[in-house]
Structure 1
Amino acid sequence: MPSTTPQDLQIKPRQPEFSLPSPWARHWHGDNAFKSHFFDAMSLLFPDGERFFIDSVRAYRDQVTDPQQQAQIRGFIGQEAHHSREHEHYSDALRASGYDLDYLERRLKQRLAFVRKHLPPKVHLAATVAVEHLTAIMADAILQNPAWLTGADPQMARLWRWHALEESEHKAVAFDLYQQVCGDVWLRRRAMLQSTFFFSLDTFKGLVHMLRRDGQLWRWRTWSDGLAWLWGSRGILRPLVKVYCDFYRADFHPWQHDNLQLIHSTRREFDQPAEVS
């Protein structure tokens, strides 16, 4: 299947200055524990996960001869490296607030170590392709729908919007590489099923741990409001079901969900200082 990635798409790492709330606000998202920790729990997966993504792409980059694709791979690696670094700082703030991130990260580290040691590189890349789709559809929703971050601390909202922008920009880099070096549809589908399970499990585990530490785990209102925010009639995750399922089509490509205009409009928020000089 030919790539539908825009040929002139420039993928470049940005290094915007982020100042996390100081002192750290445990409930930085509208003073709401559930919303804050939903994002926190996802964030703590990124430092190790994105280093894994970088390695899975690097394993095959020497098979790419097209200069434009090589440039996009360099951009992907640079962006993911910066994401990993910023979310390390985010994790440091969570750890300093009393959350046991060593406990939360242990299983993920063990799982990634097993995959690296026992499974072939094409499986690593398939897993990367799957998780990149999960992050891409959530990133698109963050950029399209301000309700995802309504009431959030402005500094935290900016960090998540930056991450969302770059996930949207490079959403097909690993996919195009996978199609070139493997392209196995069934492996891709299996990787998505496994990635969805573990991503959901790890996020839920982090959410539960942080709510427990905050004394809110057994509050009915915390869960009823939180689950309505995620899956209610106007829940933020409900509109993502269809675009998630598109991944399982044999002819799927990430740029069939074309949000290039949204990317261009969001770039102005982060690229404007460079353009003024």
Structure 2
Amino acid sequence: MASPTPKGLEIRPRQPDFGLTQPMPRHWHSGNAFKTHLFDAMSVLFPDGKRFFIDSVRLFRAQIDDPLLQQQIRGFIGQEGHHSREHAQYSERLRALGYDVDYLERGLQRRLGFIRKHLPARLQLAATCSVEHLTAIMADAVLRNPRWLAGADPAGADPAGADPAVARLWRWHALEESEHKAVAFDVYQAVCADPWLRRRAMLQSTFFFTVDTLKGLIHMLKRDGLLWNWRVWRDGLNWLWGKHGIYRELVGVYLDFYRGDFHPWQHDNLQLVEQYRREFDERPELA
């Protein structure tokens, strides 16, 4: 069966200048600690996580005969390499603000070391497919739903929105995640295509991604002296899971991954990708 990946899809690494300040604003997202640290906690996972994704795809690169997929693998590796480096710099800014990024990274690094040493290569690739789906559906939502980065909500709170430079970094990341969302999956289908293995990998990946993100969020709120502030948690959980919660809208597209006939480009957002390509490629200085 032919892959639904759009024919001729170009996956090109970009290296925009985000102009992030040093120090970075402590609560760069609308002055809101919960919103800020949800993104910060995910960012801490990316330097090591992206290197793992690249390595898991490289394990099977020689087995891919399709020249288009080989070209897309090159783009995937380039984009993920830039993401790893940019978020490593992001982590340095978090360290400068007093957050213990080394503590947050250690658990992930130990787990990835164990996976590389002890688990089959196909399971490593399946894990990459799983996390790529998580990041792809969040990336689509960042680009599609203003509530991810805008300050205003139905109650009219946080009118300022996210810091423009940091928001731009997350839009860039979301654009490129959307472009390469099917590369690891297409490699997996070419070399394995076992739906049960990828379902197992998704269950495990969802658990650890949730635990690691929550760990980072708790640590940063604790450093800010806000861990036991019930309003922070009330408003934050409402932002995530309330009537208009940003995570609530992702449940259906998340569950699609468990279908036997699933493919990432069944969630066709190519028009949205083209929109943000214009923002970053045609007039990058204004993005």
Do the two structures share a fold, i.e. TM-score over 0.5?
Answer: yes
Letter in 2 for 1:184: D
Alignment of 1:48-59 (within 5 A): 48-59=48-59
Show the counterpart of 2:90: 90
Which runs of 5 or more residues in structure 1 are unaligned?
none
Write the distance in 2 (CA, Å) between the matches of 1:54 and 1:220. Answer: 40
Query: Shift of residue 64 of structure 1?
Result: 1.1
Write the distance in 1 (CA, Å) between the matches of 2:106 and 2:15. Answer: 29
Q: Out of 203, 206, 210, which is 1:200 matched to? A: 210
> For 2:262, what is the secondary structure of its paired residue?
coil
Show the counterpart of 1:183: 193
Q: Is the 8 A contact 2:34 2:217 kept in 1?
A: yes
Write the distance in 2 (CA, Å) between the matches of 1:270 and 1:85. Answer: 19
> For 2:258, what is the secondary structure of its paired residue?
coil
Show the counterpart of 1:253: 263
Alignment of 1:128-277 (within 5 A): 128-150=128-150, 151-273=161-283
Show the counterpart of 1:74: 74
> For 1:54, what is the secondary structure of its paired residue?
helix
> For 1:180, what is the secondary structure of its paired residue?
helix
Which runs of 5 or more residues in structure 2 are unaligned?
151-160
Deviation per CA, 1:47-69: give whole Å up to 9, x if none: 00000000000111111111111
> For 1:239, what is the secondary structure of its paired residue?
helix
**Is 1:25–2:35 an aligned residue pair?**
no
Show the counterpart of 2:155: none
Letter in 2 for 1:23: P
Q: Is the 8 A contact 2:23 2:96 kept in 1?
A: no
Write the distance in 2 (CA, Å) between the matches of 1:107 and 1:37. Answer: 18
Letter in 1 for 2:92: D
Write the distance in 1 (CA, Å) between the matches of 2:128 and 2:21. Answer: 31
Q: What is the root-mean-square deviation of aligned Cα atoms in Å?
A: 0.8
Write the distance in 2 (CA, Å) between the matches of 1:203 and 1:135. Answer: 13
Write the distance in 2 (CA, Å) between the matches of 1:206 and 1:6. Answer: 36
> For 2:248, what is the secondary structure of its paired residue?
coil
Query: Shift of residue 219 of structure 1?
Result: 0.3
Write the distance in 1 (CA, Å) between the matches of 2:19 and 2:112. Answer: 30
Calculate percent identity across the aligned residue pairs. Answer: 72
Write the distance in 2 (CA, Å) between the matches of 1:127 and 1:12. Answer: 24
Show the counterpart of 1:107: 107
- Misfit runs of 4+, over 6 Å: none
